Structure 1
Amino acid sequence: MNRTVHPIEQESYRRLRARLDTSPLPPLTRAVVERVIHSAADLAYASDLVLNERELTAAHAALHAGAPVVVDVEMVAAGITRRETVCRLKDATSGPGRTRSAHAVRLAYEEVGPGALWVIGCAPTALEELLRLDAAPALVIGLPVGFVGAAESKAALRASGLPAVSNVSEKGGSAVAAAALNALLYHPTSKETL
């Protein structure tokens, strides 16, 4: 997907690369790492993110083939450019032992079925609920933030064997989750590079 890059963004990436050599990273891993760092101005994400190039390649193909993108909150949706997303938080309710975020994930899965890209940037309970479903995702970008459940839910994601982008620490959030998805959106397909 060709896009015009603003000079401020170009300068930001130049400065990022002056502080951190990302050139040894595989292409999609590099794209995700750089865009997440750019979104947070936090170089520590370079060693905090957990990525797999093979999984990113498959997710990139699914995304560009039209796989649905599901987000946990509208703030994640607002950060994803050039792509429609599914967010069912407005329709969700909380109940005994269930948060609105968890219910929204279940509603979204009923709508999109298997093969979606899931972008969780806010609620650890949304990620936990997704792991309970047989969602067969193309990718889970699991970057919820917080001191309660965030690191644990991301560890459970990595242990699940699902294709994922996560990080080890409690850091995360809507902006970095959207940035990880945008990195895959902006990265050219093989047709675009010919």
Structure 2
Amino acid sequence: MNRVVHPIEQESFRRLRARLDTSHFPPLTRAVVERVIHSSADLGYAGELVMDEGALATAHAALHAGAPVVVDVEMVAAGITRRETVCRLKDAGAGPGLTRSAHAMRLAYEEVGPGALWVIGCAPTALEELLTLDASPALVIGLPVGFVGAAESKAALRESGLPAVSNVSEKGGSAVAAAALNALLYHPLSAEENL
């Protein structure tokens, strides 16, 4: 099913590309970079997002084959279109040494098992907890935001060797994390076309 792109979105991408040359990026990387910038109006993401085209291709295939999508908060879920997500934050509780966000990751893993796509846009502790699980993810979109733990949790994600999308600063958030997943959802299965 083809997605109908609103004229405002088309114009936004035209303006983005007029201000920033993204043509040197491989197709899926370009899609993620552009969608994240589109969601944030922050051209700086082009220089600080970290991802691997091969990992994105594998994740793209898994996503379109129906792999589950787990999110850390409902705000991320709200930004993901055309796909149901799993968010267990409402069911989670905090305990000694464990935040609600971390507990929610454990609960989600119990529900979905290995092979899911994990989209973390809010809580660094959710990303930290995911890294302790044997989740064997198809992809981790690790873009939590904040001055405490965000940059460090993303560095740990990159060091883990897991297939991932991250960035090298405190920036992030629900909108950009959802945008990164939407880039993979919207990208065609067989064509190299972008929006």
Question: In which range does the TM-score fall when normalised by the shorter chain?
Answer: over 0.9
Q: CA deviation at 1:192?
A: 10
Deviations 1:149-177 (A, max 9, x none): 00000000000000000000000000000
Report whether the alignment pairs 1:12 with 2:41.
Answer: no
Distance in 1 of aligned mates of 2:30 and 2:50:
12
Moved over 6 A (4+): none
Calculate the TM-score normalised by the size of structure 2: 0.97
The one-letter code sitting in structure 2 at the alignment partner of 1:75 is M
Measured in 2, the distance between the counterparts of 1:185 and 1:65 equals 11
CA distance in 2: counterparts of 1:183 and 1:160, whole angstroms: 23
Distance 2:39 2:91 in 1: 29
How far has the Cα of 1:14 moved from its partner?
A: 0.5
SS of the residue corresponding to residue 132 of structure 1 reads coil
Cα deviation for residue 24 of structure 1 reads: 1.1
Aligned position for 1:46: 46
User: What is the letter of the counterpart of residue 23 of structure 1?
Assistant: S
Cα distance in 1 for partners of 2:6, 2:22 equals: 21
Question: Does 1:140 find its partner at 2:108?
Answer: no
* 2:157 counterpart letter in structure 1: L
Tell me the amino acid that sits aligned with residue 59 of structure 2.
A
CA–CA distance in structure 2, aligned partners of residues 156 and 105 of structure 1: 16
Partner of 1:129: 129
Written as runs of structure 1 = structure 2, the 5 A alignment for 1:70-149 is 70-149=70-149
Aligned to 2:189: 189
- Counting aligned pairs with the same residue, the percent is 88
State the alpha-carbon separation in 1 of the partners of residues 90 and 192 from structure 2. Answer: 37
Structure 1 stretches lacking a partner, 5+ long: none
Quote the Cα distance in structure 2 between the aligned partners of 1:91 and 1:25. 40
**Residue 134 of structure 1 aligns to which amino acid in structure 2?**
D
1:36 paired to 2:33:
no
State the shift of 1:92 in Å.
0.1
Please state whether the residue corresponding to 1:67 is helix, strand or coil.
coil
Any conservation in 1 of the 2:27–2:192 contact (CA below 8 Å)?
Answer: no
- Superposed displacement of residue 2, structure 1: 1.4
TM-score, normalised to structure 1, is: 0.98
CA distance in 1, matches of 2:98, 2:164: 24
The letter of the residue matching 2:43 is: L
| Partner secondary structure for residue 102 of structure 1 | helix
Kept in 1, the 8 Å contact 2:32–2:179? The answer is yes
Distance 1:75 1:179 in 2: 12
- Within 2, Cα distance between the matches of 1:41 and 1:103? 32
Q: 2:133 corresponds to which letter in structure 1?
A: L
Unaligned runs of 5+ in 2: none
